[in-house]
Chain A
Amino acid sequence: MMKRLTWLVLCCFASNAYSNDEVSITLVGHISPVCEFTSQNNNLEFSSNGIANTTLEINCNSPMRISMQSLNGGLSHEQSSRISSYNINWKLEGANNNVSVSAQAIKSTYSFNISDILFDSIAEIQLTLDEPLIYAGSYQDVIRIEMTPSVVSGGVL
């Protein structure tokens, strides 16, 4: 009985060794979606005409989602409780859509999708005050911007 079993196993191996006529090889590659950006200037001081600008260099290898959040929903006046409204305007090189949104609207996280792939692209961000700052003192806000590949569910961290 033992001899028969050994013989059967050997036959199987032998058959296998001499019956191959074709080998199929599947090659698979994968690049993880990554979105990165750097900014020219993080401190955006409004000029006397009520405008502040910065430029972002974007490197994203997939469609993406841009999320924004404003800490104060406008410029907070340190010497009072006044909030001065301003708008954030995006001009995205390589994408057709320009985006304009108020700081008030992004007090809760605001997101928009970019279907184009902005690889090695420039985005111009312009902040525009609704009305001039008239009261003496310091004004400030913090805007958090996050870029996330669309395939990954994410928002402002």
Chain B
Amino acid sequence: MNKLIVISAIAAISTLTSGSVLATSHDFAPGGTVPVICNATTFTGDFDFTEQQIKDASGSLDVDFKVTCNSANDAVVKLKSSNGWLENQSNASFGVKYQATLDVADANNFNLVLDADNTSKPKISELTMATNAQVATGVDAKLTVDLTSGWGNSMAGDYADNLLLTITAL
């Protein structure tokens, strides 16, 4: 008669019975950071009207540049005329009124108008610009300055103003 002896050598205790962990999991955190960039390409300098344009209080200047703003929550664009008009530097009572217009076609036809009409000094106009993927990477912008009317603008002297463009991310 054979006697069967069974010896079981359990090399490792089953997880199901011991409760040890069979599987492993880890969490990973992919991410990134993008800095805020809101600017206009530099266009500092003097943009001169001719003597005749000053006398006639008519004529215009165009400035082309690029606007970039990568804010996901739009931006505020501000135009500020320091003198409130094109002011005679010898006599502040004389000057030429003008209208400055900023157009950014690719920003949902953004259009900001500043009437530098000598009603305040400085004169400020601002408007929220909706940003999009194009604006975030840079789009064409145009600033147009149209002379509209004058007061004592046949008087001698330099006529000057400082027009400041500011773009602030929201």
Contact = CB atoms under 8 A, between A and B. Distances in A.
A46 B25 contact: no
B25 A138 contact: no
A63 to B, nearest CB: 13
A42 interface: yes
Contact of A141 (B2, B4, B26, B31): B31
Contacts of A22: 2
A23 to B, nearest CB: 6
Interface string B8-29: 1111111100001111111111
Sorting the interface of chain B by its residue count into under 10, 10 to 19, 20 to 34 or 35 or more gives: 35 or more
B5 to A, nearest CB: 5
A81 to B, nearest CB: 9
Contacts of A46: 30-32
Interface stretch (A3-11, A29-37, A94-102): A29-37
B24 A36 contact: yes
Contacts of A86: 30
A44 B29 contact: yes
A91 interface: no
A35 B14 CA distance: 14
Contacts of A120: none
Given A135-B136, A149-B23, A32 B30 contact: no
Interface string A78-98: 011010001000000000000
Interface string B27-40: 11111111111000
A135 B22 contact: no
A139 B34 CA distance: 8
B29 A142 contact: yes
Contact of A146 (B7, B12, B24, B133): B24
A19 to B, nearest CB: 6
Interface string A114-137: 000000000000010000011111
Given A138-B31, A141-B31, A148-B22, A32 B13 contact: yes
A135 B70 contact: yes
Contacts of A23: 2-3, 5
A141 B33 contact: no
Nearest to A127: B30
A133 B34 contact: yes
Interface of A: 16, 19-39, 42-46, 52, 54, 75, 77, 79-80, 82, 86, 127, 133-149, 152, 154, 156-157
Given A24-B4, A134-B34, A154-B22, 4 more contacts: A80-B72, A139-B34, A143-B27, A152-B23
Interface of B: 1-15, 20-37, 70-73, 131, 133, 136-137, 169
